Structure 1
């Protein structure tokens, strides 16, 4: 803990003295300095494929420096991890802390690791005050044009310590390619361009590099117009471990036994389950171990003149001896009976020092309780009621009579693992295209707003899962947490006990507290906007003009300012997601006018893509191939080879083009469904015709005329503006010829639940078989809420 550093400064003569009022004042300053909104976005899953629709709901759970109603827009952009390229971006309306939307992924998107970055329009000192990132994986539904694999060879040269990796490339039917293909590969600071041999193989020799934070080999293969990408995380030969010790309370004290938490990670910050010998001087006194989370605990009674160390029993880890911190002469040792408590905190204190103490219950932003205490004896058992303490992570700090911190421990107050919502289905196993009846009932709170997703279970990678409970109470407060092997972090009490033993408060320290002044609370606040302007003959206007906007079935008129300025954040310019707008001016001299857009969100996207660091722990492997990021055959429809059909009228059915959509973004699939989510970008799509009937969400509707494509000339400005959510497409899939390979078979947002009655919903399974997961999460009038339920889909008999 950083408290150890602080106490070591005390031993060197550094004596900060806090009056009680000054601590409260400084915590208030620190809270204003560090204050940030708690913003969570529920994405329907975290594994997607090209042309797939991503559904999401944003929840502003806790306001920071800006009030909830100040947040009016949510921006969502997708960033590729490999090179920080921004792939797609969109903006959505936010109201009362809620925002809903969806994004269709490009057909050409490359497979690999990405991050969705979501943030609101409120900015503090140049950075969004509410920001959330969601790691995702992109797979493809297109079989690669050729097979490629990387394999680490067993006969690695131990003398040179080089990695020997074999790249092998063949045709789809395992034959030799007609000619060698081009290869570009990168490993650490090594980059090289080469070719395979005539048999399609290449032996790559990679010199071992020290302090390598990313041990992955990245390979790009190009065969004429076809490309493929591979990356293989190589095992490090003598991986250097990171071992840290956390005496409970902050210090080892001579003559007092205490629990010591310890944590082991490898060079890539992955937890390591390991056994070790505990030494006193040169003698083994115990055998200790860490869990699968890389966290362990052991009891130690420090003796004078003794040196304590740990020697790891692990052949793959170098520098295997690590020394514990030196025990101090006098001090306090505290032990919590449990760090996960409901209404009362129970602890024991052992002391060889100060008698007059002060117990401070706080979260480094606010003091909830200050309790004077006299030790009287060297050992005391204490119970502290938590009536004044809110739910969440709290810190108990023991101060001396001069308000100097002596010991500290984090705990979770008012923890409850009771089910806040009961989720059930009419049965557990379903056939393909069978109706699912879902029932939801609140168990305690009077009202809740939730989003609901039913997705194919293998479209959720464990290490990339976020849930609103764990994020609100743990992830947003602590550093990166170990990946929970099963379930969610919040609901695993054993996991929480381990984490809180070694994870001190990472955002706030006593050093920060002491250094904070009133000047640190001064900040600059701003709002990101999407602004437009119009000039005439390259000059600023001197009087307002009226501009027109269309992108759906309506034409809207907007008045500019005297100087031709206007704001896109108005109801007249907000469209359904997926639609694009056109601006025009109806004037006899219209060609003298020119539109300009200043989209401040795009500039923020660029800034965040360069500044954010994504922590992606990786596991070493010995073989990988380019089919691993391809969906299985039973998860995708037969994909027609894409063709480009030049524009023509098609017997009055509609114009058919490469994308099939009109200027409003609408299209009709081969099964007469308007904007069918199973066929975006399908070459068989046609443009809808005004006056004709099409199916949408199981209902027949008459399509109105799209005016966005009428009379477009060079003084029209087409832009991707601000959007309302697009409704999820529901179908009973009665047409047996219509493919239904949906991994998200249900999505709903803004659903209001009440404990007074049960909410009943229904949807249909798709053609995909296997395990599906229903996730319900959102906010209540008192708390956040999360639940999940599983069902299985079997092949029809």
Structure 2
């Protein structure tokens, strides 16, 4: 087990994002928690890299890096107008590598909507009903202008369905008829379209009707095997072709004779009892209109063995086990997590049936495996359970009211459980419909379940850890999980040898395309202070983290000292970008493929009561690109002032009314008038733009006293890291925005004892005089 823990170390990086549905021009706020560091100690993880990736084609849209200290990292990314709507995910990892692979990796799926109406309207529908006689799907795509007129030019449509990838153009009426052959066993039933008209693009998709397909049915005898004549509890799971759970009823047969009726829950999981006999054929037939008729066979019973059953797999301080056997009585019980053994108890079964009660004093909190072995230490039965389970809230949230008006002050009180001495948490207060259930991640469920087990059924309420009934079902079928005992037999000491390293930015300076013959000095420009970097004789150099530290939203440049840049060329080897590319190819996203219903490209546009009324856009060509061309009105430092005299106002990112701030003048910042200092970027020739490591950006707070200032914020409060102390409530205040409806407060983080999560809801109503 010690060797295996070195070969396959378990790490836990969790990132709390303020929400999982965003719009263009919104700022994404997040806090990274490195809870379990794996092969490298926590202090060696000094950078958290974040890549924003489009699901449709795995394109890396944005990248950034943030400083990490003591396992904590705080950051934010602004999503510009130019990003297309659709499904994306954030890929997050730290800079420490083991055998060339990042120690800690985290994925957060998100949906990107827009507050701008599409440049053109696009929709698709089935041209005729699908029947058994039709051999093809006929899909009609229609494209018009925003005011429902014909477009003067054709629209290019690229589409993908299964293995089919083609492109075509619309006709003069803006329509295209796509004919596709029917497939019976497609894993992904969706037809994906990318539409491009001149410089504007859009994505739409929809699920095409499928013929009845065979379900994926698996049986999990508790303990691992069916034993002749011994009653076993059998867990079973049913999924459709898209890996979605299916709730249904089925008949259980013995030698083609019905002996029982069994069923699965909404999570596609069920259980039943059976005393099998050798030679008998046990089968299951599903009763479901949407699935093809088929027979599914249970595993065959073996003559000799042992059954293991647990009445409850969520336990606090004691685990109770029931064992039945028809073979040798010299056994041992091992409690472990495949990385460490906590207890190993040899015993003799005086009877064929025995109940064992084991105190869990030496067992840590979390998923634990029971393995019963024979006298030669060969596993006979195995079961997973959760030790020291407690779903009580360790953080309590209280608001002064349940209902508020627009732009009204909210007082929130946060109390830490007295058993948790101290903690640090991130706090998000967001519009509730900006949190899609299937994309929600909470720190408790991720740390103790998702990070340990394979794909879990989507929990209806989004919080798997709190639901005991859900967990009992999952742990019954996830008993044989990440490792198998065959891994132990094949391990060698040489397998434990590892090479650790850190991601770095390195580079080379050449002159007239030739190596240097003497070292030169480089400088960084754009951070709060200038750093000097020495090359070696051949021009090679390495950028340290302290050389790359950059204020939020600012760009970092590299130049040669002494004005020699015009004769020198700098090339930087960005290992972070290469690592992100590799991870997009190697990281397997285990998630069900849901049928898409995005048949109109306006469906990902925010509702009118959640967005500003945008003026008609004006294209301004500016050849002096300062690296902030998506921030209209910003200066070379990325700073801008909105029409309401607010510096870097988050509600007016890229707005046409923005102006550059003037040194010496005062502007509102977090409700306080602050004098703007000079932007110290100069017009130097030959500046080489490099990716810096950003420090966190403060969340903008406002009381919205200016009645004409629009306040359509879906995140109305964010705090990266608030320190909590038991017995000392933490009180914070913020204001509701112009958006009405349900809002959710989410508090999650770490304490000196555990990870913690809490949530609370309140409602915002329109002002009575509106």
Residue 210 of structure 1: how far off its partner (Å): 4.7
C-alpha separation in 1, matches of 2:724 and 2:101:
35
Select the residue among 231, 237, 251 that pairs with 1:257: 231
Q: Which residue of 2 aligns with 1:662?
A: 635
C-alpha separation in 2, matches of 1:656 and 1:113:
25
Q: Which residue of 2 aligns with 1:717?
A: 688
1:671 paired to 2:644: yes
C-alpha separation in 1, matches of 2:749 and 2:552:
22
Q: How does 1:78-117 map to 2 (within 5 A)?
A: 78-117=52-91
Q: Which residue of 1 aligns with 2:287?
A: 313
C-alpha separation in 2, matches of 1:336 and 1:410:
9
1:579 paired to 2:579: no
Relative to structure 1, is the Cα distance of residues 143 and 744 closer, same or farther in structure 2, using a 3 angstrom cutoff? same
Q: Which residue of 2 aligns with 1:22?
A: none
1:56 paired to 2:30: yes
Relative to structure 1, is the Cα distance of residues 571 and 623 closer, same or farther in structure 2, using a 3 angstrom cutoff? closer
Q: Which residue of 1 aligns with 2:742?
A: 771
C-alpha separation in 1, matches of 2:601 and 2:738:
25
C-alpha separation in 2, matches of 1:393 and 1:28:
18
Q: How does 1:326-337 map to 2 (within 5 A)?
A: 326-337=300-311
C-alpha separation in 2, matches of 1:497 and 1:78:
35
1:272 paired to 2:243: no
Equivalent residues of 2:382, 2:480 under 8 A apart: no
Q: Which residue of 2 aligns with 1:642?
A: 617
Equivalent residues of 1:253, 1:327 under 8 A apart: yes
Q: Which residue of 1 aligns with 2:673?
A: 700
Select the residue among 381, 393, 405 that pairs with 1:407: 381
Q: Which residue of 2 aligns with 1:592?
A: 567
Q: Which residue of 2 aligns with 1:45?
A: 19
Calculate the TM-score normalised by the size of structure 1.
0.92
1:522 paired to 2:522: no
Residue 586 of structure 1: how far off its partner (Å): 4.0
C-alpha separation in 1, matches of 2:72 and 2:480:
29
Q: Which residue of 1 aligns with 2:582?
A: 607
Equivalent residues of 1:57, 1:99 under 8 A apart: yes
1:741 paired to 2:715: no
Equivalent residues of 2:426, 2:719 under 8 A apart: yes
Equivalent residues of 2:545, 2:693 under 8 A apart: no
Range moving further from structure 2, 636-645 or 756-765:
636-645
Residue 37 of structure 1: how far off its partner (Å): 2.0
Q: Which residue of 1 aligns with 2:420?
A: 445
Residue 631 of structure 1: how far off its partner (Å): 0.8
Equivalent residues of 2:251, 2:285 under 8 A apart: yes
Query: What CA deviation, in whole Å up to 9, does each residue of 1:124-174 have, x standing for no partner?
Result: 111101111111111111112333322346721312443343334444455
Relative to structure 1, is the Cα distance of residues 30 and 619 closer, same or farther in structure 2, using a 3 angstrom cutoff? same
Query: What CA deviation, in whole Å up to 9, does each residue of 1:650-707 have, x standing for no partner?
Result: xxxxx99972111111111121111111111222211111111111111111111112
Range moving further from structure 2, 372-381 or 406-415:
372-381
C-alpha separation in 2, matches of 1:505 and 1:334:
13
Q: How does 1:65-464 map to 2 (within 5 A)?
A: 65-152=39-126, 155-174=129-148, 181-196=155-170, 200-443=174-417, 444-464=419-439
Q: Which residue of 2 aligns with 1:633?
A: 608
C-alpha separation in 2, matches of 1:612 and 1:647:
39
Select the residue among 751, 754, 760 that pairs with 2:731: 760
Equivalent residues of 2:205, 2:597 under 8 A apart: no
Residue 234 of structure 1: how far off its partner (Å): 2.4
Query: What CA deviation, in whole Å up to 9, does each residue of 1:387-443 have, x standing for no partner?
Result: 110000010000011111101100000101111011111111111111111111101
Let me know the Cα RMSD of the aligned residues.
2.2
Range moving further from structure 2, 363-372 or 527-536:
527-536
Relative to structure 1, is the Cα distance of residues 62 and 155 closer, same or farther in structure 2, using a 3 angstrom cutoff? same
C-alpha separation in 1, matches of 2:113 and 2:630:
26
Equivalent residues of 1:81, 1:614 under 8 A apart: no
Equivalent residues of 2:184, 2:211 under 8 A apart: no
Relative to structure 1, is the Cα distance of residues 594 and 505 closer, same or farther in structure 2, using a 3 angstrom cutoff? same
Q: Which residue of 1 aligns with 2:477?
A: 502
Equivalent residues of 1:422, 1:440 under 8 A apart: yes
C-alpha separation in 2, matches of 1:86 and 1:194:
26
C-alpha separation in 1, matches of 2:602 and 2:730:
42
Relative to structure 1, is the Cα distance of residues 177 and 331 closer, same or farther in structure 2, using a 3 angstrom cutoff? same
Residue 339 of structure 1: how far off its partner (Å): 0.6
Relative to structure 1, is the Cα distance of residues 658 and 251 closer, same or farther in structure 2, using a 3 angstrom cutoff? closer
Q: Which residue of 1 aligns with 2:722?
A: 751
Any idea what SS the aligned residue of 1:591 has? helix
1:785 paired to 2:756: yes
Range moving further from structure 2, 522-531 or 241-250:
522-531
C-alpha separation in 1, matches of 2:762 and 2:684:
50
Relative to structure 1, is the Cα distance of residues 157 and 100 closer, same or farther in structure 2, using a 3 angstrom cutoff? same
Equivalent residues of 1:275, 1:314 under 8 A apart: yes
Equivalent residues of 1:478, 1:505 under 8 A apart: no
Residue 36 of structure 1: how far off its partner (Å): 3.3
Q: How does 1:19-30 map to 2 (within 5 A)?
A: 27-30=1-4
C-alpha separation in 2, matches of 1:647 and 1:540:
36
C-alpha separation in 1, matches of 2:103 and 2:172:
56
Q: Which residue of 1 aligns with 2:8?
A: 34
C-alpha separation in 2, matches of 1:520 and 1:546:
43
What residue ranges of structure 1 are gaps of 5+ in the alignment? 1-26, 650-654
Relative to structure 1, is the Cα distance of residues 646 and 539 closer, same or farther in structure 2, using a 3 angstrom cutoff? closer
1:548 paired to 2:519: no
Range moving further from structure 2, 688-697 or 606-615:
606-615
What residue ranges of structure 2 are gaps of 5+ in the alignment? none
Q: Which residue of 2 aligns with 1:7?
A: none
Equivalent residues of 2:17, 2:29 under 8 A apart: yes
Relative to structure 1, is the Cα distance of residues 487 and 658 closer, same or farther in structure 2, using a 3 angstrom cutoff? closer
Relative to structure 1, is the Cα distance of residues 439 and 663 closer, same or farther in structure 2, using a 3 angstrom cutoff? same
Query: What CA deviation, in whole Å up to 9, does each residue of 1:471-497 have, x standing for no partner?
Result: 110101111110000140111111100
Relative to structure 1, is the Cα distance of residues 216 and 105 closer, same or farther in structure 2, using a 3 angstrom cutoff? same
Relative to structure 1, is the Cα distance of residues 371 and 188 closer, same or farther in structure 2, using a 3 angstrom cutoff? same
Residues paired across the two proteins, number: 763
Select the residue among 427, 433, 449 that pairs with 1:474: 449
Equivalent residues of 2:37, 2:103 under 8 A apart: no
C-alpha separation in 1, matches of 2:664 and 2:513:
42
Equivalent residues of 1:579, 1:720 under 8 A apart: no
Select the residue among 640, 653, 672 that pairs with 1:680: 653
Equivalent residues of 1:544, 1:559 under 8 A apart: no
Equivalent residues of 1:75, 1:92 under 8 A apart: yes
C-alpha separation in 1, matches of 2:517 and 2:119:
59
Calculate the TM-score normalised by the size of structure 2.
0.95
